[in-house]
């Protein structure tokens, strides 16, 4: 019989849970994971990674369709084979799931497959194929994640009304698609299906798309998506959604208050997430706010020995935030268990980057210009457009810009905001800078390689101080 007594049990194996388990094992703690579905959780199997595979297929289709812009002729018609595109994406997910399985074995982490329910802060039962197991431990890390929020008047059915999970494995190509919500998930799927040749309408309740981003990024993106053929409705709301024989009929109220009915073949709801904190036995053990577990900066809940990380805790709800929390919590547990070599650092939310993989890409870290001013900073902000960058022009990707926001008094980098080609790979430069508490002086003195799009990062810093060279 498998061992049932551990130092740490992690409930959930997403990018927070499995990373926490690995770090616990590295620190010599006897560790187990409880998982009800697939190792790797949503991110690896249904979220961050397989969507990037889909978007890559759409990107290559887009390049092929615009081959003549690069002096190339492609004979014959370029078509998307939806089945093959989805198959490739699922293959990527499978590879990563196997990778996590391997990491569990390598680090000697026990895996209990089944539904885990806490019976106290440091004990739980697991109901799986083998029946019921009782597990005890010194510490539990809850990493149960979150799921897509349903519309109250139109629950996702997987046929006509989709969440991200359905949108990733479509049985058919939507002809006319309604996307409700323009956060990262909504915009990524809107971008994918638009590139695949679908007629896409995005409805956003707030006054701009990707509302958490800097308003200049939102304005640029809306313009770009409209130019690509999407219909963008901001300050609008879906008041009713009826599934019909042909698809869905949506009652949409526009920004002027006018209500119209439109037929769509399919609808994707991307209106936020709901934490998976019900039916886990948490009610009496932790404090919750709207279902999210309240924690201290190291992941502690109000019950001794019970910790929580990732999407079931306050945001931002991002995989890399969950992984980082996983390491912090693992080290804090090891310290409590007597390890004097670890020095956990609490999470600094100001240094967590966000990336959206639409076409053009978006990436940002820290405060927007508006939020910096709201917080009382006197700011210096500057923007450098890609049209002033040689590499971007050579790549045929001259649309986009980098914007940086500094504290005028101290020179502290408060935020960076980018839209355009490959910005998701470049943002890390600013994240490292922020984490090392850099100022404009150091960034100005940094030599960026030429020719790269990253030079626009340097120029945006110079622009913040009226010193841009190439514009």
Active-site annotation, residues: 450
Contacts of 347 (CB under 8 A, 6+ apart): 297, 321, 324, 325, 328
Q: Are 270 and 186 in contact (CB under 8 A)?
A: yes
Structure-block tokens of residue 157: 């059915």
Spell out the residues 6+ positions from residue 433 whose beta carbon is closer than 8 angstroms to its own. 413, 442, 443
Neighbours of 450 (CB within 10 A): 11
Cis peptide before 451 (omega within 30 of 0): yes
- Residue tagged 């993106």 (tokens): 221
Task: Report the C-alpha gap between 24 and 395 in whole angstroms.
Answer: 44
- Residue 361 and residue 351: Cα distance in Å, rounded? 19
- Name the residue among 348, 402, 406 with its Cα closest to residue 372: 406
Which stretches within 126-197 are classed as H helix? 164-168, 184-195
Residues in the chain: 471
How far apart CA 433 and CA 166 sit, in angstroms, is: 39
- Report DSSP state, residue 70: G
The stretches of 116-183 forming alpha helices (DSSP H) are 164-168
Q: Are 351 and 344 in contact (CB under 8 A)?
A: no
The CA-based angle 230-92-318, given to 5 degrees, is: 65
| Cα dihedral sign, 96-188-397-319 | negative
What is the 8-class DSSP label of residue 154?
Answer: B
Write out the two tokens for 367: 């405060």
Helix axes 184-195, 215-227, angle to 10 degrees: 20
């Amino acid at each position: 019989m498998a061992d049932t007594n551990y130092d740490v049990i992690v409930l959930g194996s997403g990018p927070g849970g499995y990373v926490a388990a690995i770090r616990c094992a590295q620190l010599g703690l006897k560790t187990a994971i409880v998982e009800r579905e697939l190792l790797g959780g949503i991110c690896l199997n249904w979220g961050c990674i397989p969507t990037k595979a889909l978007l890559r297929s759409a990107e290559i289709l887009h390049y092929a369709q615009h081959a003549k812009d690069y002096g190339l002729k492609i004979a014959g018609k370029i078509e998307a084979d939806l089945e093959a595109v989805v198959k490739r994406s699922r293959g990527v997910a499978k590879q990563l799931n196997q990778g996590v399985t391997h990491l569990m074995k390598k680090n000697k982490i026990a895996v209990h497959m089944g539904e885990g329910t806490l019976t106290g802060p440091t004990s739980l039962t697991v109901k799986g194929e083998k029946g019921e197991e009782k597990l005890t431990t010194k510490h539990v890390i809850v990493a149960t994640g979150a799921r897509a929020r349903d519309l109250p008047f139109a629950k996702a059915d997987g046929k006509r009304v989709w969440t991200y999970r359905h949108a990733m494995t479509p049985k058919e190509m939507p002809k006319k698609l309604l996307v409700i919500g323009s956060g990262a998930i909504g915009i990524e799927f809107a971008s994918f299906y638009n590139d695949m040749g679908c007629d896409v309408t995005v409805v956003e309740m707030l006054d701009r798309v990707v509302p958490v981003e800097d308003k200049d990024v939102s304005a640029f993106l809306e313009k770009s998506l409209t130019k690509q053929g999407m219909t963008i409705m901001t300050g609008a709301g879906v008041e009713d959604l009826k599934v019909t024989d042909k698809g869905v009929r949506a009652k949409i109220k526009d920004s002027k208050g006018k209500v119209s009915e439109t037929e769509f073949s399919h609808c994707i709801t991307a209106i936020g997430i709901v934490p998976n904190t019900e039916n886990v036995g948490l009610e009496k053990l932790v404090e919750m706010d709207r279902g999210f577990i309240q924690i201290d900066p190291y992941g502690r809940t109000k019950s001794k020995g019970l910790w929580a990380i990732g999407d079931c805790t306050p945001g931002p709800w991002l995989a890399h935030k969950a992984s980082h929390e996983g390491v912090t919590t693992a080290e804090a547990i090891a310290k409590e268990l007597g390890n004097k070599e670890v020095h956990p650092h609490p999470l600094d939310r100001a240094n967590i980057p966000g990336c959206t993989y639409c076409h053009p890409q978006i990436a940002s870290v820290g405060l927007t210009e508006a939020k910096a001013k709201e917080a009382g900073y006197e700011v210096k902000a500057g923007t450098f457009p890609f049209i002033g960058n040689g590499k971007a022009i050579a790549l045929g990707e001259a649309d986009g810009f980098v914007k940086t926001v500094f504290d005028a008094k101290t020179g502290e980098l408060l935020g960076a905001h980018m839209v355009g080609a490959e910005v998701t790979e470049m943002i890390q430069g600013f994240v490292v800078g922020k984490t090392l508490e850099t100022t404009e002086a150091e960034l100005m003195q940094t030599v960026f390689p030429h020719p790269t799009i990253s030079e626009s990062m340097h120029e945006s810093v110079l622009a913040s101080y009226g010193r841009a060279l190439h514009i």
